Amino acid sequence: MDAKRQDWITTARDNTIAAIREGRIDDAIRGVGEIWAEGRPIHDFYGDMSAVFCDFIAQELGEEAVEKAWRYLGERLWKPVFEAAAAAGAEPLAGLYAMFLRSHGYDFRVEEDDEKITFLLDYCPSGQRLMMEGKLEGDSRHPLNHGVSKKPYPWTFGKTGVPYYCGHTELWFNSMPKEWGNPIMSTQFGEFDADGKVTGSPCRTFFWKRQA
């Protein structure tokens, strides 16, 4: 009779639920962290995969084509989500953005005044993670050398050396909402050292309560 590998199909969530039902509080608390840890490898793999797609596009068609690819994705994927949330105002859109950040694994702060809601991204598990893991072009710490902007484009925040991956942030959260006629949000790229650590201002995203 074939043996069944129950250990391979039992998730951290399954184990945590069992611990809660059986009153094993310490195991349940530990299980919360295990649920989170179980999802990180595939999260990071997909982030790297997106960066590799950008590399391929830049190598085959030039880095200007990376902008076109992110714009295509933005029109197809982000625009319907953005328009549905933004129709209700800055608060619901900012709440949706906060949900994305939490599920993504960001470390962030939120500040609010009469004019805007500001998100300060102290750690980004995508573009900044690539920096910190040495996975960007010109870094010898890792064999993956994902592309960075060679010229300063609007979609790279007017800077060189910005990961192609991060181009979607400027487009989806700044340029494209303006083009869609609703400049309710904007974003700024942060300041980082060679190891990807924030040295000055972190990346920031703004949600404007009253638009000009």
pLDDT tens for the chain, 212 residues: list them.
Answer: 677 888 899 999 999 999 999 999 999 999 999 999 999 999 999 999 999 999 999 999 999 999 999 999 999 999 999 999 999 999 999 999 999 999 999 999 999 999 999 999 999 999 999 999 999 999 999 999 999 999 999 999 999 999 999 999 999 999 999 999 999 999 999 999 999 999 999 999 999 998 65
**How many residues can be counted in the chain?**
212
Residue with tokens 């295509």: 72
198: helix, strand or coil: strand
Token pair, residue 91, equals 């608060």
Reading the block at residue 146, the tokens are: 């994902």
- Give me the helix-helix angle, 79-86 and 90-104, nearest 10°: 130
